[in-house]
Chains A and B, each alone.
Chain A
Amino acid sequence: MPKVKPKRHVPVIDMTAMVDVAFLLLTFFILTTTFRPDEKVVVDTPSSTSTTEITPTDMMTINVDATGRCFVGFADIPSRAGVLDKIEADYGFTASAEGRQFFILQTSVGVPLKEIATWLSGTKEQMKEYEQKGVQYPYFFKDPADNDLKRWILYGRTANVRTRFAIKGDQNSPYPAIQDVISTLQDWNINKFNLITDLEAAPGGEGAE
């Protein structure tokens, strides 16, 4: 007589449905994710109840970090190329193909205009490691003749006439720095611009009638 073997049960869980859900969510998140571009300057924006979306093109962003350092950025690549053309014409140099390519990929730039030629003549590594002191503007550099920001604004506008302007300040930026940016915009008669903020919930109706 054969021995009676105890039956061995291997519990098997059907994971098909779980896999379906997991991949569905995964696909959703992969498709909706856009990776944050590598920013040279850290700006933690304040929040407001404004719900206007940022326009993805034709936008020049003036970043001001917590210490008042200023970086400028152009939203679209044709504008960046146009801006570089203007800088080359004004400062009498021609960037190498590599330098031009590198410049076009920058989301924000904080190199004084006088140093752009030197900056873009280096190798890719050197350009990446280049110390960006920030765009010169009155808050840091009191000489009005050296107001690089004013020139950047002109370059932005002439490279792309539809350019609109946005100020992206840090919560802790000293206001005088922002005031200098606004005055520089006003020097060009640009009296309408945007402030970039995070979204916050509107307060309840306290005090309202």
Chain B
Amino acid sequence: MASIENNTGGRKGRQRRSVRVDMTAMVDVAFLLLTFFILTTTLANPKMMEIATPKNSPVDLACSKVMTIFPGQDGMFHHFTGCDPESVQTSTLNEVRARIYQNIATVNDLIISIKPTENSKYATVVNILDEMEITGAKKYALSEITEQDIEFLDKKGLK
């Protein structure tokens, strides 16, 4: 481990010794452990988002203030604003966000109703709930899809 360097030059009869410890092996071990811990550490802890769901009592809403979003298959969203379901559009998350911003600006007391379909993946629903946070939409509800809605989407061939 320790290499002793003899320095026999210079004055006669006297020896100067400098003791050096070879630290290579120690460094090896230290870096090995360091690499292990760096690779196994996850610095990003999971977070949580809080949601409140409405009680199971039907609320009468003025449909002119409601934007309805159906999170569908493959991360796409079907949505319409106001009383006319026929104006339903299918868009990506970014387009929906733009539409929400637009609605917040034009509709007073906008209410967003999120109705996941049978085919929605959980991630899609979380994405749209997250949009509520991002856009700052004040009133939104995560509700169960109704028979009527299912029929309507079927008729339109939307999944």
> A residues bordering B, Cβ < 8 Å?
10, 12, 15-16, 18-19, 22-23, 25-26, 29-30, 32-33, 35-36, 45-54, 64, 166, 169-179, 182-183, 186, 189, 191-199, 202-203, 206-209
Q: Does B62 contact A (CB under 8 A)?
A: no
CB <8 Å contact, A202 and B134:
yes
CB <8 Å contact, B31 and A22:
yes
CB <8 Å contact, B49 and A50:
yes
Tell me which of B37, B94, B105, B125 contacts A29 (CB under 8 A): B37
Kindly supply a per-residue 1/0 record for chain B positions 108-150, scoring 1 wherever the CB is within 8 Å of any chain A CB and 0 otherwise: 0000000011111111111101100110000000101000000
Residues of B contacting A194 with CB < 8 Å?
Answer: 48-51
Tell me which of B44, B48, B124 contacts A195 (CB under 8 A): B48
CB <8 Å contact, B47 and A53:
yes
Residues of A contacting B142 with CB < 8 Å?
Answer: 182
CB <8 Å contact, B98 and A178:
no
Residues of A contacting B52 with CB < 8 Å?
Answer: 191-192
Bound Cα distance from A51 to B40, whole angstroms: 23
CB <8 Å contact, A171 and B121:
yes
Distance to closest chain A CB from B75 (angstroms)? 10
Q: Does B152 contact A (CB under 8 A)?
A: no
CB <8 Å contact, A29 and B38:
yes
Assuming the contacts A26-B34, A26-B37, asked whether A48 and B27 have C-beta atoms less than 8 A apart, the reply is no
Q: Does B55 contact A (CB under 8 A)?
A: yes
Residues of B contacting A178 with CB < 8 Å?
Answer: 122, 125
Assuming the contacts A15-B27, A179-B144, A196-B46, asked whether A170 and B55 have C-beta atoms less than 8 A apart, the reply is no
Assuming the contacts A175-B116, A179-B144, A202-B134, asked whether A52 and B105 have C-beta atoms less than 8 A apart, the reply is no
Residues of B contacting A193 with CB < 8 Å?
Answer: 50-51
CB <8 Å contact, A52 and B50:
yes
Q: Does B87 contact A (CB under 8 A)?
A: no
CB <8 Å contact, B27 and A18:
yes
Q: What are the 6 tightest A-B residue pairs by CB atom distance, in nearest-first order?
A: A29-B37, A50-B49, A207-B98, A46-B123, A171-B123, A175-B120
Residues of B contacting A51 with CB < 8 Å?
Answer: 47
Give the interface centre of B33, B54, B94 by most chain A CB atoms within 10 Å: B33
Residues of A contacting B101 with CB < 8 Å?
Answer: 207-209
Bound Cα distance from A49 to B144, whole angstroms: 24
Distance to closest chain A CB from B43 (angstroms)? 8
CB <8 Å contact, B40 and A23:
no
Bound Cα distance from A47 to B5, whole angstroms: 59
8 inter-chain pairs at a CB distance below 8 angstroms, sorted by A residue, are A19-B26, A33-B41, A46-B127, A49-B133, A49-B134, A52-B50, A186-B53, A203-B134
CB <8 Å contact, B46 and A22:
no
Residues of B contacting A182 with CB < 8 Å?
Answer: 53, 142
CB <8 Å contact, A176 and B118:
yes
Q: Does B17 contact A (CB under 8 A)?
A: no
Assuming the contacts A170-B122, A171-B122, A176-B118, asked whether A52 and B24 have C-beta atoms less than 8 A apart, the reply is no
